[in-house]
């Protein structure tokens, strides 16, 4: 069987690493990278560290408005699908790359297999929500990570196409987590390229969503909250908001801004942090996997399963609100494992190769 996989952004490289490792033994996979993420430490580093095969195609499409980026991708992916004639298309998550690939494939009658289907935030102002809804509704097979995501799909009449597979991000956390070295732990670099020493105790912040970073005021509030904590915060900054983050944090001396880090370094930061503050869908699950308390600075729930027993709490981008949430105690039920058993990759491949 010939499978075309389309990836483009950091979280998709991680999921593709998990699935490709298994898929390549059983089928022919053609990997298309849209180019949505393109800096070395937003793209290549993941392929190198996670041993992902070099993409067969890199479309070099990034930036611009959502419509422009999606349109350019759609057209380029269509051309490649016509050339490669795959039996199926495999996509992950909710980025513009995901939606563009799904639309291109369905129009050519190529069945779309969607991993991480079903999450709903309840707001079409989120570009990720739009991407995921569209992708789900043109897919042949929907592979949500969790029961709550499957329930949304059932409510939208997609229950019959749905199979819960667990979370490939959990597979990645388990598999690659055991490969973290001292070198990975100490791979923090400033934007001047200087090595940054890692403090013994720290908080881990990631913040890149347009909701929090399109203006100074919200990002500044989040950084002020982190700056007032009892240990420094390590903040690897996404290129989207690098200039703004450097500017608004100028007078804050308890925050260490770094270049984006590779996945192994990120996992080590999750495992060793006191607590985590984020607006990332991936980071909030990784905090949960590592049993670290998390505050998510968004006004909608992305992963309801993590919100139990104060393990992950929503906060507005407001200093006092964030600090109040960080102060609450979490409790951990070790029996509660809503993200599967670390073998979702196998289930995804099984579904992909059935029929
Ligand atoms: C995208 C996804 C988001 C996901 C995030 C993962 C969409 C709509 N959003 O958001 O769901 O959480 O990826 O990180 O697809 N840029 C660089 N270098 C890079 C990558 C991006 O400079 O390597 C710049 C781009 O030129 C662009 C900006 O960052 O101006 C935003 O990038 P984009 O891919 O549009 O969105 P993300 O915020 O990364
Ligand atoms: N991540 C990383 N380096 C960083 C920040 C994040 O490797 O500097 C990893 C982290 O494991 C996270 C994943 O990239 O789960 C995806 O993160 P991102 O926040 O970019 O995307 P989202 O999960 O919000 O779609």
Quote the ligand 1 centre to 260 CA distance (angstroms).
12
Q: Is the CB of 38 under 6 A from ligand 1?
A: yes
Q: Which two tokens stand for residue 212?
A: 């929090």
Pick the residue whose CA is nearest to atom 2 on ligand 2: 263
Tens-place pLDDT, residues 142-182: 999 999 999 999 999 999 999 999 999 999 999 999 999 99
| Whole-angstrom distance, CA of residue 80 vs CA of residue 136 | 22
Clarify whether residues 130 and 240 are in a common domain: no
Tens-place pLDDT, residues 272-294: 999 999 999 999 999 999 999 99
Closest CA to 5 of 77, 91, 80, 81: 91
Instruction: Give how many domains the chain has, as a whole number.
Output: 2
Q: Is the CB of 239 under 6 A from ligand 1?
A: yes
Clarify whether residues 45 and 194 are in a common domain: no
Residue 173 forms part of a structural domain? no
Clarify whether residues 190 and 257 are in a common domain: yes
**Does pTM surpass 0.95?**
yes
Residue ranges with strand state E in 78-198: 88-92, 112-115, 141-143
Domain that holds residue 39: 2-167+340-352
Pick the residue whose CA is nearest to atom 6 on ligand 2: 266
Q: Is the CB of 39 under 6 A from ligand 1?
A: yes
Confidence of residue 199 (pLDDT cuts 50, 70, 90): very high
Q: Which two tokens stand for residue 227?
A: 């700056």
Clarify whether residues 130 and 10 are in a common domain: yes
The CATH number for 129's domain is 3.40.50.2000
pLDDT of res. 63: 95
- Is 208 catalytic? The answer is yes
């Amino acid at each position: 069987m010939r499978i075309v996989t389309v990836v483009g952004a950091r979280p998709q490289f991680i999921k593709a690493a998990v699935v490709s490792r298994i898929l390549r033994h059983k089928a022919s996979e053609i990997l298309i990278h849209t180019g949505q993420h393109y800096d070395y430490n937003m793209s290549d580093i993941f392929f190198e560290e996670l041993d992902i095969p070099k993409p067969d195609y890199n479309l070099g499409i990034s930036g611009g408005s959502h419509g422009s980026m999606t349109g350019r991708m759609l057209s380029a992916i269509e051309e490649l699908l016509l050339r490669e004639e795959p039996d199926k298309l495999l996509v992950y998550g909710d980025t513009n790359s995901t939606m563009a690939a799904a639309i291109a494939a369905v129009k050519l009658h190529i069945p779309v297999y969607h991993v991480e289907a079903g999450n709903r935030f309840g707001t079409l102002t989120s570009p990720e929500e739009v991407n995921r809804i569209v992708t789900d509704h043109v897919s042949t097979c929907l592979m949500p990570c969790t029961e709550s995501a499957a329930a949304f799909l059932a409510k939208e009449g997609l229950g019959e196409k749905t199979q819960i597979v667990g979370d490939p991000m959990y597979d990645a956390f388990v598999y690659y987590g055991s490969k973290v070295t001292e070198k990975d732990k100490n791979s923090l670099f400033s934007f001047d390229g200087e090595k940054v020493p890692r403090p013994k105790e720290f908080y881990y912040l990631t913040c890149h969503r347009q909701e929090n970073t399109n203006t100074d005021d919200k990002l500044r509030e989040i950084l002020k909250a982190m700056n007032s904590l009892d240990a420094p915060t390590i903040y690897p900054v996404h290129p989207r908001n690098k200039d703004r983050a450097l500017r608004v944090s100028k007078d804050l001396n308890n925050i260490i801004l770094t270049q984006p880090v590779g996945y192994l370094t990120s996992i080590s930061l999750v495992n060793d942090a006191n607590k985590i503050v984020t607006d990332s869908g991936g980071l909030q699950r990784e905090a949960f996997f590592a049993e670290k308390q998390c505050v998510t600075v968004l006004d909608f729930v992305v992963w309801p399963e993590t919100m139990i027993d104060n393990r992950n709490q929503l906060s507005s981008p407001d200093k006092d609100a964030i600090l109040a949430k960080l102060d609450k105690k979490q409790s951990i039920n070790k029996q509660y494992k809503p993200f599967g058993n670390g073998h979702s990759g196998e289930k995804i491949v099984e579904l992909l190769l059935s029929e």
